[in-house]
Amino acid sequence: MKMSYIENRKKWEEDFTFYIKVNVRFSETDLFGHLNNTIPFVYFEQARIEFLKSIGFMQHWIKNNSDIIPVVADLQCDFLHQIYFDQTLKIYVKPESAGRSSVDLHYRGVNEDGRTVLTGRGTMVQISKGSGKSHPWSEEEKQLLMRKENSTLLK
């Protein structure tokens, strides 16, 4: 498979450090007997949020009446292998690059055999709910997003 957002697959895979574990729910399967194709985006969101919590970003976004919220600008997912009920997946997430008010996050889903079953990416943008306009990261936020521990390739 060619994924335009991955240059060197081996390096790209090794570069992740942060992950969550998810167990495939029965209600997430479909009549073809495997995980429905809409669910990896649920897992990506959960991984993204746990990552953002780990660097202290979620807390103020979900405060009541916060005007600044993160929105998803785009998302993509490659389904490399079928995924089945009751499998436990590691969903890795890492920041690839940060813009003025956005961050490009990459995702990798790995099954119990260590096989990469999902890859993906998506850009998230911080906006003002009121104006609908993008809201720039502070210098501190940018540093937190791109700090070394988030991915072995960042320096």
User: Where does this chain bind a copy of itself (CB under 8 A)?
Assistant: 1, 3-4, 25-27, 29-34, 36-39, 41-42, 45-46, 49, 53, 58, 62, 64-65, 69, 71-79, 82, 85-86, 129, 132
Least distance to a copy of itself from the beta carbon of 109, Å? 13
Q: Give the separation between CA 79 and CA 58, rounded to whole angstroms.
A: 28
Nearer to a copy of itself, 32 or 112 (CB): 32
How many other β-carbons are positioned within 10 Å of the β-carbon of residue 63?
10
Q: Other C-beta atoms within 10 Å of 60: how many? A: 10
Report, in Å, the least distance between residue 2 CB and a copy of itself.
10
| Helices (H) then strands (E): counts for the chain | 4, 5
**Least distance (Å) between residue 12 CB and a copy of itself:** 16
Give the CB-side neighbour count of residue 91, counting CA atoms within 13 A.
Answer: 26
Q: Which residue's CB is nearer to a copy of itself, number 45 or number 141?
A: 45
3-state helix, strand, coil in the chain (%, to 5): 25, 35, 40
State in angstroms the smallest separation of the CB of 148 from a copy of itself: 26
